[in-house]
């Protein structure tokens, strides 16, 4: 795949990303307008006059046509202006930065747990010499993958929650306001994220384990493992080296989708563990019908999903020569 084809592929993927994000913005904006409730009525109060209510609607631009409101919002986003919460008056960029500093470390910690558990367990489920071990790991992955993150979190609180669990060693509520102010505060912040991260990580690890195991078995069926064994490797060595290397594109794809989908689980456990992340602000803005804030928050979450997909697609084409050859043939 020459440089011209690489540039063409990158530009086409970026263009697709932009188009998809624009479509998502349309869906978010007009879907929120269907919801009941009026932010102007909330701000004005129950005892306000009709004149005050109309004045607030004019001030917020809610009396303009929907297409005009959408165009104004989208133009502000393009210029980097994320808007302002009409309830609190706080800039959305500032609000989201503070909350993302909690949510994204939680997502990263969950992903580390996922990969640290999922991939070694998948290799073990293939290479173990004991049938009962292989069967037990498969059954365990099915059970863990079916548990909702909320239930997993509650179970972990009952076991490890400080003050309420059987082994009360980890905090279950809250997060330091300034986690980087000192070493002790930073350690407290890390401890506050352990149970939420494990709640999400063990579920997604089960998914990664199943997909990785399937990819390793596909490599075995294609005789790649046997060829490596003829070169002097043991079966376990062949799986850990040749098998994992050939399965890497699939593992990256699954890890990428899992990383993006972790937002759903993370938003759930943030509420359970009372962590001031994006979930808290999103639920609060939804309940108060702060539509300008909600639509910006949802658009940024959607952009994150699409960006992860874009990065994964490009990584797969970078490491998988079959995809590069296919793309080169398509461009001819």
Query: What are the tens digits of pLDDT across the range 248-261?
Result: 877 887 877 777 76
Q: Would the CA dihedral through 136, 141, 147, 151 be positive or negative?
A: positive
Q: How far apart are CA 332 and CA 327, in angstroms?
A: 9
SS3 106: helix
pLDDT tier at 64, thresholds 50, 70, 90? confident
**Is 131 a residue whose pLDDT tops 80?**
yes
Q: Would the CA dihedral through 310, 26, 289, 39 be positive or negative?
A: positive
Half-sphere exposure of 315 (CA within 13 A, CB side): 15
Given this model, what pLDDT does residue 3 score? 65
Q: How far apart are CA 218 and CA 247, in angstroms?
A: 9
Mean pLDDT score, 164-189:
76
**Is 293 a residue whose pLDDT tops 70?**
yes
- pTM to 2 decimal places: 0.78
The segment with the largest mean pLDDT, out of 52-56, 210-214, 269-273, 289-293, is: 210-214
Given this model, what pLDDT does residue 22 score? 92
Mean pLDDT score, 20-27:
92
Given this model, what pLDDT does residue 108 score? 85
Mean pLDDT score, 83-101:
81
Given this model, what pLDDT does residue 146 score? 81
Given this model, what pLDDT does residue 222 score? 67
The CATH architecture of the domain made up of 102-330 is Orthogonal Bundle (1.10)
Mean pLDDT check: name the lowest of 178-187, 212-221, 229-238: 178-187
In the chain, where the domains are located: 3-79, 102-330
Given this model, what pLDDT does residue 7 score? 76
**Is 121 a residue whose pLDDT tops 80?**
yes
pLDDT tens, position by position, 309-326: 888 877 777 776 555 555
Taking a C-beta distance cutoff of 8 angstroms, is the pair 152, 199 a contact?
A: yes
Taking a C-beta distance cutoff of 8 angstroms, is the pair 304, 260 a contact?
A: yes
pLDDT tier at 24, thresholds 50, 70, 90? very high
């Amino acid at each position: 795949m020459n440089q011209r084809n690489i540039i063409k592929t990158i530009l086409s993927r970026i263009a697709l990303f932009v188009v998809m994000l624009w479509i998502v913005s349309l869906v978010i904006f007009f879907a929120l307008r269907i919801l009941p409730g009026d932010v102007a009525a909330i701000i004005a109060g129950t005892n306000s006059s009709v004149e005050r209510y109309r004045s607030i609607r004019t001030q917020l631009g809610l009396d303009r046509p929907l297409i005009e409101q959408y165009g104004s919002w989208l133009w502000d986003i393009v210029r980097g202006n994320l808007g302002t919460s009409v309830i609190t008056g706080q800039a959305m960029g500032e609000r989201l930065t503070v909350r993302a500093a909690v949510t994204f470390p939680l997502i990263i910690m969950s992903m580390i747990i996922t990969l640290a558990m999922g991939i070694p367990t998948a290799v073990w489920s293939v290479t173990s010499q004991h049938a009962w071990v292989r069967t037990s790991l498969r059954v365990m992955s099915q059970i863990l993958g079916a548990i909702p993150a909320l239930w997993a979190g509650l179970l972990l609180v009952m076991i490890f929650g400080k003050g309420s669990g059987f082994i009360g060693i980890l905090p279950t509520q809250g997060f330091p306001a300034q986690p980087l102010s000192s070493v002790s505060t930073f350690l407290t912040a890390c401890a506050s994220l352990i149970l939420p991260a494990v709640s999400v990580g063990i579920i997604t690890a089960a998914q990664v384990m199943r997909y990785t195991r399937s990819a390793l078995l596909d490599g075995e069926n294609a005789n790649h493992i046997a060829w490596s064994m003829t070169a002097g490797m043991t079966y376990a060595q062949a799986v850990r080296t040749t098998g994992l290397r050939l399965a890497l594109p699939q593992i990256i794809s699954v890890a990428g989708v899992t990383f993006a989908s972790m937002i759903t689980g993370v938003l759930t456990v943030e509420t359970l563990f009372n962590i001031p992340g994006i979930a808290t602000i999103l639920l609060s803005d939804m309940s108060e019908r702060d539509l300008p804030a909600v639509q910006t928050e949802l658009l940024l979450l959607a952009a994150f999903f699409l960006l992860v997909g874009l990065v994964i697609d490009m990584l797969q084409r970078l490491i998988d020569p079959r995809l590069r050859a296919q793309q080169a043939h398509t461009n001819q």
